[in-house]
Amino acid sequence: MGDTIAAVATGGGRSAVGILRLSGPEAISAAGAVFRPAGGTPLEQCADRRLVLGELLDREGRPVDQVLATISRAPHSYTGEDTAELQCHGSPAVLALGLEALFAQGVRQAGPGEFTRRAFLNGKLDLMQAEAVADLIDAETQAAARCAGGQLAGHLSRRVQEVYDTLVDVSAHFHAVLDYPDEDIDSFEARTLDEALARAEQALSALLDTYQRGKLLVGGIPCAIVGKPNAGKSSLLNALLGYERAIVTDIPGTTRDTVEEKCTLGGRLLRLIDTAGIRETGDEVERMGVERSRRALSGAELALVLLDSTCPPGPEDEEILRLAQAAPHLIRVYTKADLPGSVPPPAEKGVVLLSSRTGQGLKELEEAIAACFPAGVDQERGEMLTNARQAEAAGRALSALKAARSSLAMGMTPDAVLVDVEGAMGALGELTGRNLREDVTARIFQRFCVGK
């Protein structure tokens, strides 16, 4: 990290403002070399976090744009290094000329996530906070943004740290008794030790239980729209998306493959899967579509089973409902409410009467989906595990704690119990980044955008 990096920190294409960001030992001097302050005071002599008006210069020293510059000296910056930002007009040509001028000063192009990686390596963020930065940028719903914001503020980290501190106390007591047997140190009692480990196990188990909801919050809820042919599946997909994504006709079997799109409904991000109508068919192409529908249903977190409200349910509907029982959540949607002959469905929980053409019932569907996936306090605070890496590390820590308690119950020697306690500490260290291999760190930051 001894060099200085720069990147465009704003999105591609034209925009009102475009930012050139620098970090490293030569960040301020390099920015000063391509910036001519209107007041005459060199950028290197300006105060931290003050906007300075001036001109951006190209590599030949010619004015390109009127810009604002700001600097932050180490360690009081995002990365913990000297940083500088040049706030330009958002022309890609202007930003390219500015980058070329900075590169001529010996600055190099930053890689994906390199600014946040430096913040992590310099102790400004732990690894879960760094991951939250990417989640915040990628958030597709307000709930996901709030959760990532809470993680960035350190709420999840503090929850993990409480467990870690408990294990540090246990480990320190173990070592003190084992290493200094002649000192006047309170000996550990199995009951007291087991109580401490039980508290840690309970806290970790509760944390691990948040992963399923956290994963769905960030990645979206797999939602299969299923039903027999002409039940209104594609019409519902189009109504939810607000445009004609799928072809709709009166001909049974129009949809031959799964159609997938994302939408937000009830504050939840849904990964909608419009499926082929499930029925027995001799058409080989349609049969393959039906098989894909069955697979989509088996992997769905939510099944919307569409039933035609203008005719009584038949054997095909009953079979589809039976298959849909495998999904953790199921909502029966009676369609075509606007047509003559539509019969109101039973007034039960998880049942909605809907017309995709008029929009009748869409609000009720939204409320039913929200009821299936209620937001908890841990979501609002950002105290949830949201990716597989976090869940895997927490799972190993929990397994090690259970092994430690089992060893203690069997009367094994303290050093045997200590091995499992320290194994749990090591796994928790991977959560925060205290103990992590370089290749794992690199893979985490590869999903970041350049400039962040």
Residue 21 labeled ligand binder: yes
Strands 108-109 vs 5-8: parallel, antiparallel or unpaired: parallel
252 is in an annotated binding site: yes
What pLDDT is stored for residue 247 in this prediction? 42
Give the residue-averaged pLDDT of 17-21: 96
Predicted pLDDT at 388? 93
Q: Please state the rounded mean pLDDT for residues 402-429.
A: 88
pLDDT of residue 56: 97
Mean pLDDT, residues 388-410 taken together: 93
Q: pLDDT grade, residue 285 (50/70/90)?
A: very low
Please tell me whether 262 is known to bind a ligand.
no
**Residue ranges with strand state E in 204-348:** 221-227, 259-265, 268-274, 302-308, 329-335
Check whether 116 is labelled as a binding-site residue. Answer: no
Residue 85 is labelled as binding a ligand:
yes
Laid out side by side, the sheet with 221-227 consists of: 259-265, 268-274, 221-227, 302-308, 329-335, 351-353
Establish whether 402 is an annotated binding residue.
no
> Does 231 appear as a known binding residue?
yes
Going from the C-alpha of 407 to that of each of 164, 174, 299, 367, 417, the distances in angstroms are 20, 15, 38, 48, 6
> To the nearest whole percent, how much of the chain has pLDDT over 90?
54
Residue that wins the pLDDT comparison between 184 and 258: 258
Q: Beta strand pairing status for 63-72 and 259-265?
A: unpaired
356 is in an annotated binding site: no
Least confident of 256-260, 293-297, 448-452: 256-260
What's the whole-model pTM score? 0.83
Whether 182 has a pLDDT exceeding 90, the answer reads no
Q: Is 255 annotated as a binding residue?
A: yes
**Pairwise CA distance, residues 101 & 451, whole Å:** 17
Q: Is the pLDDT of residue 278 over 70?
A: no
Closest-CA residue to 389 (of 127, 114, 157): 127
Q: Is 230 annotated as a binding residue?
A: yes
Of 56-65, 224-233, 266-275, give the range with the top mean pLDDT: 56-65
Residue 360's Cβ-count burial label (10 Å; 0-12, 13-18, 19+) is middle
Task: Tell whether 253 is in a known binding site.
Answer: yes
Q: How many CB atoms lie within 10 A of CB 362?
A: 17
- Please write the tens of the pLDDT for every residue from 231-259: 888 888 888 887 565 444 444 444 444 57
CA separation, residue 253 to residues 250, 298, 427 (Å): 9, 21, 51
Q: Which pair of tokens denotes residue 279?
A: 């029925």
Tell me if 264 is assigned to a ligand binding site: no
pLDDT at residue 288 greater than cutoff 90: no
| Residues 28, 31, 34, 39, CA torsion sign | negative
Looking at per-residue pLDDT, the higher value among 153 and 288 belongs to 153
Is there a binding annotation on residue 338? no
404 is in an annotated binding site: no
234 is in an annotated binding site: yes
Furthest CA-CA distance within the chain: 91
Tokens of 430: 């991977």
Mean local confidence (pLDDT), 82-107: 96
| 324-375 pLDDT, tens digit each | 888 899 999 999 999 988 888 888 888 999 998 899 999 999 999 999 988 7
pLDDT band at 97 (very low <50, low <70, confident <90, very high): very high
Q: Taking all residues of the chain, what is their mean pLDDT, rounded to a whole number?
A: 86
Local confidence band at 289 (pLDDT 50, 70, 90 cut-offs): low
Give the separation between CA 53 and CA 67, rounded to whole angstroms.
6
Cis peptide before 75 (omega within 30 of 0): yes
Pairing mode of beta strands 63-72, 108-109: unpaired
Q: Which pLDDT value is given to residue 256?
A: 41
Q: What is the pLDDT of residue 312?
A: 87
Residue 210 marked in a binding site: no
Is 314 assigned to a binding site? no
Residue 232, marked binder: yes
Annotated ligand binding at 452? The verdict is yes
